[in-house]
Amino acid sequence: MATLGDLERTVMDLLWATTDSTTANELRDAIAEVPAPETGRELAVTTVLTVLSRLEKKGLVERERNIRPHRYRAVTSREDHTAELMHEVLVTAPDRDAVLARFIGSVSEAEAQTLRTLLGGS
Amino acid sequence: MFWASYLLAALAIVLAWPAPIALSRAAWTARAPFTAMVLWQSIALAGGLSMIGALLVWGLEPLGDNLVAASAGFLELLLTDASARTLGVVHVFAVSAAVLLFAHLVFTLVLTFVRIRRQRSRHRDMLTLLSSPSTEQPATVVISHPAPVAYCLPGGAHSVTVMSDGLMDLLTQAELDAVLTHENAHLHQRHHLLLWAFAAWRSALPWLPTSQLAQRAVSELIEMLADDEALRRVDRATLVRAIVIVGSGEVHPDRDELGSTAADRPHAATADPARSTLGDGSTAHRVRRLLAPLPPLRRLQQTAALSAAGLLLVVPPVLLVMPEMLG
């Protein structure tokens, strides 16, 4: 049984792998070829459309509405999203501390220098 | 009952100013982070309670000998709408301030909770799309990013620890274990609940020294607690190396010559902590604490600190409800 999260992931993986826009039908066919056991069952196009509209709401997918059927593409690359997410993690803000717990908090350049010297083992 | 409100006000002032400043400067907290954490919690709780209590008791003073009787009197006044005669404007003002302050604290707590939950769930959504599960560790995902990053995202059964592949390239298996044990300690000991409470405390009363100092102290103390937990599984030198490597944020220039084994790397833990001039940032503080471990507090000191914490929690309610018992 594929959860919605798994499907979203599969769809995004497919969209990130291509630069062209694609239709829900093409996506459904592509998903059927993904050799993952959890997505093995036959999907309805409506399910793919649901997933796509969820992804659109999250700002990950954009839709070309002027042609029928609508064509979908990833808003930006996987690397950009990762960079953005990591920036969120690394940026200093006291009110973010409660959201997640980092192994190392933000380190000033001077402090990093001392840490490096320390690692250099004097 | 009048003197009770002054005592509560005095307590509120002490807990808002001198007490947190003294505790934040105390050196012993690094030796007993858990005890220090308990003390911070009771300072925050007792501080809030005595602030509200002082206003409430003072405002209700004309209506009864103790808070229970006075509250009943106040309710009756509200119902009969005769407040102007018995209670002066200042009294009504004090009671309103107490009610508002209480509501403000509760609302901020709830709002902070909602905000944190929303941010976490959005973050978890993105992680589902961008990361892949670790092949070796349960509840751990790997994200493709060059910077060495490790963090945990709490969320009950959905709690997850995130590592970047930059981190995995930089650290040896033992050092990675140190990082993971540290992060798991955060999750097991539910540090996110403490961070939530103190973040709310800070956003509710940002101008109060106690709320700022408390949040900073608490986020340092949980790192110490997690470090101590990690030390049960990995040795001190490994943990220090992991902190220093991740903290300095990039590959050490000599690393290529040193190869990838930890044994070849200079042992950070052998550096003389007395000679090193670490900055006063919290990471440097953490490393210093690990390099020069101090003995834990003696039992008597520990008991004294915990008794103080207990006393702080008992005094405000006693002053609130039973002033006649003390008088």
Return d(Cα A107, Cα A100) in angstroms, integer. Answer: 17
Average pLDDT over residues A12-40: 83
pLDDT at B327 over 60: no
> B327 or B54, which is more confident?
B54
Q: Are residues A14 and A51 in the same domain?
A: yes
**pLDDT score at A111:** 83
**Number of independent structural domains in chain A:** 2
Q: CA–CA separation, B17 vs B47, rounded Å?
A: 10
| pLDDT for A33 | 83
Residue B137 contacts residue B180 (beta carbons within 8 Å): yes
Q: How many helices (H) and strands (E) does chain B have?
A: 15, 4
Please, how many CA atoms are within 13 Å of residue B272, restricted to the half-sphere of its CB? Answer: 3
Question: Can you name the residues that pair with B85 across neighbouring β-strands?
Answer: none
Least confident of A9-13, A105-109, B55-59, B323-327: B323-327
CA B247/CA B283 separation, integer angstroms: 7
Q: Is A111 on the interface with B (CB under 8 A)?
A: yes
| A122 vs B contacts (CB less than 8 Å) | 271, 275-276
Q: Is the pLDDT of residue B174 over 70?
A: yes
DSSP reduced 3-state for B110: helix
Asked if the model's pLDDT at residue B166 lies above 70, the reply is yes
Identify the band that residue A116 occupies on the pLDDT scale cut at 50, 70 and 90. Answer: confident
Closest of B289, B287, B229 to residue A119, by C-alpha = B287
Tell me if residue B67 falls in helix, strand or coil: helix
Describe the strand order of the beta sheet including B160-164 as a list of residue ranges. Answer: A101-102, B150-153, B160-164, B140-143, B131-133
Question: Do residues A96 and A49 both lie within one domain?
Answer: no
More confident residue, B234 or B260: B234
Contact B219 A105 (CB under 8 A): yes
| In a domain? residue A1 | no
Q: Is A2 helix (H, G, I), strand (E, B) or coil?
A: coil
Nearest-CB residue to B284 (from A60, A114, A122): A114
Question: Domain check: are A68 and A106 in the same one?
Answer: no
Q: What average pLDDT is seen over chain B?
A: 85
Q: Are the Cβ atoms of A98 and B271 closer than 8 angstroms?
A: no
Residue B271 has its nearest CB partner, among A89, A110, A121, at A121
> Are A120 and B283 inside 8 Å of each other by CB?
no
Indicate whether A86 and A27 sit together in one domain.
no
- Best residue of A102, A115, A122 to probe chain B, by most B CBs closer than 10 Å: A115
Amino acid at A70: H
Pair A114, A84 in one domain: yes
Rounded Cα distance, A91 and A88, in Å: 5
Q: What is the pLDDT of residue B276?
A: 41
B125-145 pLDDT tens trace: 999 999 999 988 899 999 999
A53 and A40 together in one domain: yes
Backbone angles phi, psi at B164, to 5 degrees: -90, 155
Predicted local distance difference test score (pLDDT) of residue B68: 77
Residue A66 falls within a domain, yes or no? yes
pLDDT band at A106 (very low <50, low <70, confident <90, very high): confident
Nearest partner of A13 among A44, A45, A41, A51, judged by Cα: A51
Could you tell me if residue A44 is inside a domain? Answer: yes
CATH code assigned at A35: 1.10.10.10
* pLDDT of B86 strictly over 90: no
User: Both A11 and A58 in a single domain?
Assistant: yes
A69 and A90, same domain (yes or no): no
- In tens, the pLDDT along B29-59 reads 999 999 999 999 999 999 999 999 999 988 8
Contact A115 B143 (CB under 8 A): no
Q: What pLDDT is recorded for position B209?
A: 85
DSSP strand pairing (A61-64 vs A71-74)? antiparallel
In a domain, A29, yes or no: yes
Q: Are B31 and B38 in contact (CB under 8 A)?
A: no
pLDDT at A40: 55
Angle at B166 between CA B129 and CA B220, to 5 degrees: 90
Is the domain of A58 the same as that of A111? Answer: no
Residues whose CB falls within 8 Å of the CB of residue B12, separated by 6 or more in sequence, listed in order: B47, B50, B51, B53, B54
Would the pLDDT of A38 be above 80?
no
Say how many C-beta atoms besides its own lie within 10 A of residue B222's C-beta: 23
Confidence of residue B23 (pLDDT cuts 50, 70, 90): very high
Determine the structural domain holding residue A34 and report its residue range.
6-74
Q: Select the more confidently predicted residue: B267 or B310.
A: B310
Q: Do B43 and B4 touch, CB atoms closer than 8 A?
A: no
Degrees (nearest 5) of the Cα angle B20, B289, B154? 70
DSSP H helical ranges for B131-172: 165-170
**Per residue in B254-290, pLDDT tens?**
333 333 333 333 443 334 443 344 445 788 888 889 9
Tokens 């050490």 locate to: B252
Average pLDDT of the residues of chain A? 84
CB-CB contact of B111 with B201 (8 Å): no
Least confident of A51-60, B75-84, B90-99, B301-310: B75-84
Cβ contact B247–A112 (<8 Å): yes
Task: State whether A47 and A95 are in the same domain.
Answer: no
Token reading at B244:
């220093």
Residues of chain A with Cβ-Cβ distance to B205 below 8 Å are none
* pLDDT for residue B168: 94
Gap between the Cα atoms of B325 and B327, Å rounded: 6
Structural contact between residues B270 and B278, judged by C-beta atoms closer than 8 angstroms: no
Asked whether residue A59 falls in the same domain as residue A98, the answer is no
Reading the block at residue B112, the tokens are 């902070």
- Same domain for A18 and A68: yes
Residue A21 belongs to a domain = yes
- Choose from A31-35, A68-72, A91-95, B250-254 the range with maximum mean pLDDT: A68-72
